[in-house]
Structure 1
Amino acid sequence: MIVWLNGTHGVGKTTTAALVQQLIPDSRVFDAEKVGEVLMDVYPELPDTDNFQNWPPWRSLVVETAHRILDYTGGTLVMPMTVLVESYWREISHGLAAYGIPVRHFVLHADQDTLRLRIRDDSVMGPSAFRFSYLTPYTEALQSWLAREAHIIDTSAITPAQAASEIVASVNAS
């Protein structure tokens, strides 16, 4: 199984993923962003883009990598990764389904003011124009398709540990 943690930058996906992994036996965290980093190292470069998710190989390689990891290890993969383009989500989720891999899709959500504060005050990454630039596309995706495709966890007033507990309770209930 895959527990996919979606949501915009600064919402706490990476922190929450590590906590979810600790609560689900035989689970591992797989950050699909690493696949994008591999593709960014191709030389000569792939066509210019502002987001590696726009490269079709990223989407298929995420599916293949997740499948191969699960085939090798079994268990559960916890995947913290922002995907805001519905057609990209469909491509990934259908690819995983073709391998018979169930996906539990969660969106970690926070209101805009909370997100702006978290991004501004991030002591590890610092303020980031890139991360701020995804707030509007996130809101648009949430209103158009994300809210109907995933279980929403509002992190505005809860800790990452509480969010992780809610995710694991939902996974265990199904």
Structure 2
Amino acid sequence: MLLWINGPFGGGKTQTAYEIRRRLPGSVVCDPEHAGFGLRRVLPPELRGDFQDLASWRQGVVEVLDLALTGHEGVVIVPMTVTDPGYFAETVGRLRELGHDVRHFSLLAERETVLRRLRERGPGALLGRAAGRRTGPRRESWAVRQLDHCLERLREPEFAEHLWTDHSTVPKTADRIAVLAGLTLRPNREGRLRTRVRQARVGLRHIRLD
């Protein structure tokens, strides 16, 4: 089975994916962003755009995930934002055509909720809290510029199953996905402080500087 966790940038996809992996023995996270940023780095800076526009990325994602699903016995978890219907058909749709059991979920939240989460993630936010002040995402940041488009597109029926996460924690969202997918996660026995520290580590490991 493949769990494709979609959602706006800053919507909690990666944290949810790693929460499921932590509590689902044998599962793995396969992040297509790694391939995408690798392809961007091959190009001169002036030619770098959205890597999803590259057919090589879309085809490569299908090839690699097909290999992972064929060769790995456990659940494969993919945290990846895809809002273009054509690109969705070429990735999620193509994997289904190949016979794989793909369960797709869109994590949604109100705009202000996502903006708050963007403010709270990353080293800038951590340093700001340490200094006793709050920091916010720059208006020109790519994630904020994409937010309204992502929220609008992902509400469409083709991007179901929709999960609203405004009042849900990451562990609870992981539990909901597991129930809908017919999976059983280990009980979450982590304390609040340990959860925050672990999630901060996950966030720091996935900061993109390019």
TM-score in terms of structure 1 length: 0.88
Q: Which moved more, 1:106-115 or 1:20-29?
A: 20-29
| CA RMSD, 1 decimal | 2.0
Name stretches of at least 5 consecutive residues in structure 1 with no aligned partner. none
The aligned residue for residue 157 of structure 1 is: 167
The aligned residue for residue 169 of structure 1 is: 179
The aligned residue for residue 81 of structure 1 is: 80
The aligned residue for residue 38 of structure 1 is: 38
- Is the contact made by 2:40 and 2:48 (CA closer than 8 Å) also made in structure 1? no
Match among 125, 147, 150 for residue 138 of structure 1: 150
Distance in 1 separating the partners of 2:159 and 2:33: 21
- Structure number with bigger Rg: 2
- Is the contact made by 1:23 and 1:168 (CA closer than 8 Å) also made in structure 2? no
Name stretches of at least 5 consecutive residues in structure 2 with no aligned partner. 126-136, 184-210
% same residue: 31
Change (3 A) 1:148 1:94: closer
Distance in 2 separating the partners of 1:41 and 1:135: 24
**Secondary structure of 1:5's aligned partner:** strand
For residue 162 of structure 1, what is the amino acid of its counterpart? Answer: K
Distance in 1 separating the partners of 2:122 and 2:35: 25
**Secondary structure of 1:41's aligned partner:** helix
Aligned pairs, how many? 170
- 1:94 maps onto 2:88 in alignment: no
Q: Which moved more, 1:113-122 or 1:162-171?
A: 113-122
For residue 55 of structure 2, what is the amino acid of its counterpart? Answer: P
Deviation at 1:120, TM superposition (A): 2.0
For residue 154 of structure 1, what is the amino acid of its counterpart? Answer: W
For residue 139 of structure 1, what is the amino acid of its counterpart? Answer: L
**Runs ≥4 in structure 1, deviation > 4 angstroms?**
44-47
